[in-house]
Chain A
Amino acid sequence: MDVYLPIANLAVNGLVIVLLGGATGILSGIFGVGGGFLTTPLLIFYGIPPTVAAASAATQVTGASVSGVIAQGKRNGVDYQMGGVTVAGGLLGAILGALIFNLLEALGQIDVFINILYVVLLGVIGGMMGLESIQALYRKPQEKRRAAKRRHHPMVASLPMRWRFYRSGLYISPLAPLLLGMVVGILTMLMGVGGGFIMVPAMLYILGMSANVVVGTSLFNILFVTMMTTMVHALTTQAVDIVLAGLLLIGSVSGAQIGTRIATTVKPEYLRLMLSAIVLAVALVMLWRLGVVPEEVYTVAPL
């Protein structure tokens, strides 16, 4: 099934793109992450220009997170107040990210920088998650962790001007989630990822949010930040390929539904271990590709 992509300017096999969207959709359904960290590199590998890949992947993540947000909202799993703060931070981050993007592009190092960012972030987070889930699996049933002490990081406590976030069960300064949202916004702009794989651990371990609103609030943030990213891309890089995004969406929205069902049947520790293995694998492949002779030593950019 040949489909011509009007913005990417090339013909692709539509079925491959739908399946790719489906695979990332299943991941997002199972783990509550957007799956952008897989889509963007795979699209680039398939021959789609990097900017088009990042822009259209952001559009796809929006679609994949919609049903998640609706489902979580129904069971009161979204802290809208907290989400509002992180989204505001995300907006600032997206603008900052666009500035950094232009700066790095002017220096000619954007692709190298993005690759290094991928390796470092995915490596660190995959490693941490993997360790944690292995520990959880080997812990004997009787030593079951006592009601996990939910404490936010001391640095968070030192910030001025505290607000009450009822659903998260927190009384902290809104500057902390604002900064977190900003960091994730920058990453979304640079890497075309939703940032769920950073948001979820940060909400749990740095902010100390109550676990039952973490996934929902993270998805809420992803939803709005990727919407903004799509808009910023549409206005600045003009690289959003609606045909490519549509194909990815067909796959990913169905995949997300399948993933949600898988998620309820498998033990969460195994799920986390699987996710960390995937994240680490992506990080290792990208690290390896930084070190070997690249298949394209020369790259062309329009002037």
Chain B
Amino acid sequence: MMRVLCLAVAAMIAALAQPVQAQGRDAILVGEVSQHEVLVRQGFTGTQLLLYGAIIDPASRRSDGDYDIVVILRGPTEAIQIREKQRFAGIWINAENTSFRSVPSFYALASSAPVRSMVDQRTAAIYEFGLDYLQLSPTGSIDQEQYDRFTLGLVDLRQRMGLFQQNEGGVSITEDVLYQARIDLPSNVVVGRYVAETFAIRDGRVIASASSEVQVRKEGFDRVVAEQSQRNAFAYGLLAVALSVFMGWAAGRLFALV
């Protein structure tokens, strides 16, 4: 109630000040990521990305202060099968499984306030605001109860691996203009094209959005190893065998001197 009132007042003031310009002009969101390329190589133990930007309201020089910001960083999607263990004759075995066609390999959300207080469920589902609203595209027929169980299991697993994150309150807004959020990329991220999206939300509606890309790729020695293990599998295998035989032999010779 307070919020609506404030907003109405702000809108009236803006309308009085610049009656022509305010008409039909949307807020502009400018988003940026601290680095557009993440190189995975020796010594890589994960990194932190800074997602920042500004909200500009054409009506006034600065935005009128009642925006919320949601930032989402999303990795390449994968098709996966997820299995569930159940107790059977005293031991735990894989019992049921289901497949999802589009699971983000990485998903991190940061927002300036709890998502539930910003938008209704429908909007949250449309924009996938939060781990509860991921669209995983299950294959085949699956009942809702089973779907929920598997989704919870998957989200919990990936959260503990640091691959799914949800940090409500992780976006800080300065002077109603600048926003920033920090997102940790752990060392076990997959390589590929990551997309960072920023949404400005007012009155339960997304009023502006911006997106930018981050490329995560292997570099140097690790890139060569990863590529050769697939392109020249035979030679790579021979190299691994040769390495182990050589090291075994060399150790024998070295220790014979001691």
> Interface of A with B (CB < 8 Å)?
2-4, 6-7, 9-11, 59-60, 62-67, 70-71, 108-109, 111-112, 116, 227, 230-231, 233-235, 238, 240, 242-243, 245-246, 249-250, 253-254, 256-257, 290-294, 296-303
Partner of B252, one of A67, A242, A246, A303: A67
Residues of B within 8 A of A290 (CB): 91-92
Q: How far is the CB of B207 from chain A (nearest CB, A)?
A: 37
Closest to A13 in B: B45
Central interface residue in B80, B243, B247, by most chain A CB within 10 Å: B247
Q: A9-B190, A71-B252, A242-B239 are in contact. Are A234 and B229 (CB under 8 A)?
A: yes
The reply to whether B92 and A294 contact each other, CB–CB distance below 8 Å, is yes
B78 contacts across to A, CB distance below 8 A: 302-303
Complex CA–CA separation, A9 to B161 (angstroms): 13
> Complex: how many Å from CA A296 to CA B230?
29
A70-B252 contact, Cβ under 8 Å, with A11-B45, A231-B238, A298-B157: yes
Residues of chain B lying within 8 A (CB to CB) of residue A7: 225-226, 229
- For residue B218, CB closer than 8 A to chain A, the reply is yes
Query: Contacting chain A: which of B53-61, B82-90, B193-201?
Result: B82-90
A123 to chain B, nearest CB (A): 14
Stretch from B35-43, B126-134, B176-184 contacting the other chain: B35-43
Query: Is the CB–CB distance between A291 and B91 below 8 Å?
Result: yes
What are 8 A-B residue pairs whose CB atoms fall within 8 Å in the complex? A9-B188, A63-B248, A70-B249, A227-B241, A240-B229, A257-B252, A300-B81, A301-B80
Q: Could you say which residues of chain A place their CB within 8 Å of the CB of B94? A: 108-109, 111-112, 299
Beta-carbon contacts under 8 Å, B100-159 to A:
150, 153-154, 156-157
Determine if A235 and B237 form an interchain contact, defined as CB atoms under 8 angstroms apart. Answer: yes
A11–B79 contact, CB under 8 A?
A: no
SS of A interface (majority): helix
Tell me whether A249 and B244 are in contact (CB under 8 A): yes
A63 to B251, CA, bound (A): 9
Tell me the smallest distance from the CB of B23 to a CB of chain A, in Å.
51
Mark each residue of chain B from 211 to 248: 1 if its CB lies under 8 Å from any CB of chain A, else 0: 00000001001110110011001101111110111011
A10 touches B229 (CB 8 A): no
Q: Is the CB of A67 within 8 A of B248?
A: yes
A249 to B245, CA, bound (A): 10
CB of A32 to closest CB in B, whole Å: 14
Contact B81 A238 (CB under 8 A): no
Q: CB < 8 Å: which of B222, B236, B247 contacts A240?
A: B236
Complex-state Cα separation, A185 to B237, whole angstroms? 18
- B34 interface hit (Cβ, 8 Å): no
Given contacts A3-B42, A109-B93, A303-B99, contact A234 B226 (CB under 8 A): no
Contact: A66 with B46, CB < 8 Å? no
Q: Are A10 and B187 in contact (CB under 8 A)?
A: yes
A296 lies within 8 A of B157 (CB): yes
CB contact between B97 and one of A108, A240, A297, A302 (< 8 Å): that residue: A108
Q: Are B236 and A234 in contact (CB under 8 A)?
A: yes
Enumerate chain B residues within 8 angstroms of A66, measured Cβ to Cβ. 244-245, 247-249, 252
Q: Closest residue to A257 on the B side, CB-wise?
A: B255
Residue-wise interface mask of B (55-79) relative to A, using a CB-CB cutoff of 8 A (1 in contact, 0 not): 0000000000000000000000011
In whole Å, how far is B242's beta carbon from the nearest beta carbon of chain A? Answer: 10
Closest 5 CB pairs of A and B: A234-B237, A66-B248, A253-B251, A298-B153, A67-B252
Contacts of A227 in B (CB 8 A): 241, 245
